[in-house]
Amino acid sequence: MMLRYLHEWGSPPVFYQRAGRWQRVLWTLAALLILAGLWGGLVLAPADYEQGQVYRIIYIHVPAAWVAMFAYVVMAVTGAIGLIWRLKVAEVITSAGARTGASFTILALATGAIWGQPTWGTWWVWDARLTSVLVLLFLYLGFIALENAIEDRRNAARACAILALVGLVNIPIIHFSVYWWNTLHQGPTVARLSAPAIHITMLVPLLLMALGSMLFYAGALLSWGRALMLERERSSRWAAREAGV
Amino acid sequence: MMAFVALLRRDLLLAVRRRGDLANPLIFFVMVTSIFPLALGGDPRLLAAVAPGVVWVAALLAALMSMDALFREDFADGSLEQMLLSPCPHSVLVGARVLAHWLVAGLPLVLLAPLLALLLNLPVEAMPALLLSLLLGTPVLSLVGAIGVALTVGLRRGGMLLALLMLPLYIPVLIFGAGAVEHAASGLPWTAPILFLAAMLALAVTLAPPAAAAALRITMGE
């Protein structure tokens, strides 16, 4: 029963319809969580004793950075699925993932720069964490450039999947080498094994925002995937029916 | 193994018969390196400070420029297709091709580097680190680059795209390579970055040929 349900997702028309329903559910939940997180972060949470009000940008910045990194892993995994089982759905999700991931990476870099200007006194420093996020953006852009350069959609998807996997192997090496090279960014305050070094009134909105961003990302993935699927299947009968022509 | 040696011999022979092409990456390397003093001014102290990075960046760019030729000609005249039809494991063929390419285009860069480093006023104590780091680092560039070339060989205007795909992946090699020379130039121990480069080489030797072979099969449409 469960297996059959999952199997049906592999069919483009079923994917198109179900993704449309799921996208609405995900975006509604994301909107609720993000509204709650913003309320908690911007109104209820106290100002930071060192950084004052400026720190509040972390409610956008940190979730964006988390999603940006998470999205690359998702992209590589769906790329591998597409490469192994040749599922069209996995291929369009990979392609959608590159674009959504790149958007979140840009958001993380931009909000980081806006926060850095008043706090560090500069828009940009060549610090390890900033640099590795910048390299992540380069990896996303390379993926998109390769995909645009290959005309045949299926070949493009397969070539890009290989690139994503090569990137996935390389990311830990790049990350580590960049750390070895230089670090100035404040260390992790949430994801560590001991108690987080952040007060609970700040942590709860941050986690709400993170979950909300994650759901928004999932919805965007489906939304973009649907559009790409419709474009790719434009000569099929179900696509014509869905588009109403 | 037989196929490996045969392909290696063929590629080296082809390279020797066409000596003119051999010099191009070297000339590029020299030119890029000599652009930096012109842009930064000739102050010997400044040049000595930036020399490790400049030599490494120039070597990296020269390696990248020469990568384009790795499969292009074989793709154009159809011999690449024949190689992929052979029963021999494709990663072995890719390995032989990359080794031949490195011997022809990479090794001369390594040998030329100390001369350029002297022009940039790099302290003599840093020379062993420079040679060793390039010796370990340039094969990694060739191996990783082979994946990118395999992905782009069928495309018109693949050169710029290749640079876009490969430069982010080259960053670790650049950091540890230039880091080793930097450490040596300031009299610090430089074994750690060299060992990291050696580890990356071991990883690239094992993982890059199968990935490049898979990429080639995709571009050739299986």
Q: B213 and chain A: CB distance < 8 Å anywhere?
A: no
- Nearest-CB residue to A159 (from B172, B176, B215): B215
- Nearest-CB residue to A170 (from B154, B157, B169): B169
Q: Is the pTM of this model over 0.95?
A: no
Is the model's pLDDT at A116 over the cut of 90? no
Is the model's pLDDT at A101 over the cut of 50? yes
Which of A93-97, B73-77, B104-108 is the least confident region?
B73-77
The residue of chain B with its CA nearest to that of A137 is: B168
Q: Quote the DSSP letter at residue B89.
A: -
Range of the domain at B102: 2-219
Considering only CB atoms, which chain B residues are within 8 Å of A167? 168-169
- Nearest-CB residue to B218 (from A135, A149, A158): A158
Considering only CB atoms, which chain B residues are within 8 Å of A163? 147, 151, 165
Tokens representing B155 are 């495309």
The residue ranges of every structural domain in chain A are 58-229
> What whole-number distance in Å separates Cα of residue B43 and Cα of residue A47?
50
- Nearest-CB residue to A181 (from B169, B175, B203): B175
| pLDDT single digits (tens) B78-102 | 888 888 888 888 899 899 999 999 9
Nearest CA-CA partner of B1 in B140, B80, B85, B96 = B96
Q: A148 and chain B: CB distance < 8 Å anywhere?
A: no
The answer to whether A173 contacts B219, with C-beta atoms less than 8 Å apart, is no
Which pLDDT does position A174 carry in this prediction? 86
pLDDT band, residue A184 (cuts 50/70/90): very low
Evaluate whether A96 touches A224 at the Cβ level (below 8 Å): yes
The sign of the CA dihedral B185, B186, B187, B192 is negative
Query: Helix H segments across A40-127?
Result: 58-85, 88-120
> What whole-number distance in Å separates Cα of residue A120 and Cα of residue A144?
33
Measured CA distances, A171 to A79, A83, A134, A136, B190 (Å): 16, 20, 12, 8, 24
Mean pLDDT on B47-73: 89
The answer to whether A180 contacts B175, with C-beta atoms less than 8 Å apart, is yes
3-state SS assignment for residue A21: helix
Total domains, chain B: 1
Which pLDDT does position A188 carry in this prediction? 58
Is the model's pLDDT at A26 over the cut of 50? yes
The sign of the CA dihedral A182, A163, A102, A28 is negative
Tokens representing A52 are 């004052």
Considering only CB atoms, which chain B residues are within 8 Å of A181? 175, 179
> What whole-number distance in Å separates Cα of residue A143 and Cα of residue A117?
31
What is the separation of C-alpha B214 from the centre of its chain, rounded to a whole number of angstroms? 21
> What whole-number distance in Å separates Cα of residue B6 and Cα of residue B90?
14
Q: Quote the DSSP letter at residue A198.
A: S
Which of A139-143, A169-173, A218-222, B28-32 is the least confident region?
A169-173
The answer to whether A139 contacts B168, with C-beta atoms less than 8 Å apart, is yes
CA dihedral A190, A193, A199, A201 (to 10 degrees): 70
| pLDDT single digits (tens) B116-168 | 998 888 888 899 999 999 999 999 999 999 999 999 988 877 788 999 999 99
Q: What residue type is A28 in one-letter code?
A: T
Kindly provide the ipTM of the predicted complex, given to two decimals.
Answer: 0.87
Tell how many helices (H) and how many strands (E) occur in chain B: 10, 0
Considering only CB atoms, which chain A residues are within 8 Å of B169? 166-167, 170, 174
The residue of chain B with its CA nearest to that of A144 is: B165
Mean pLDDT on A204-209: 90
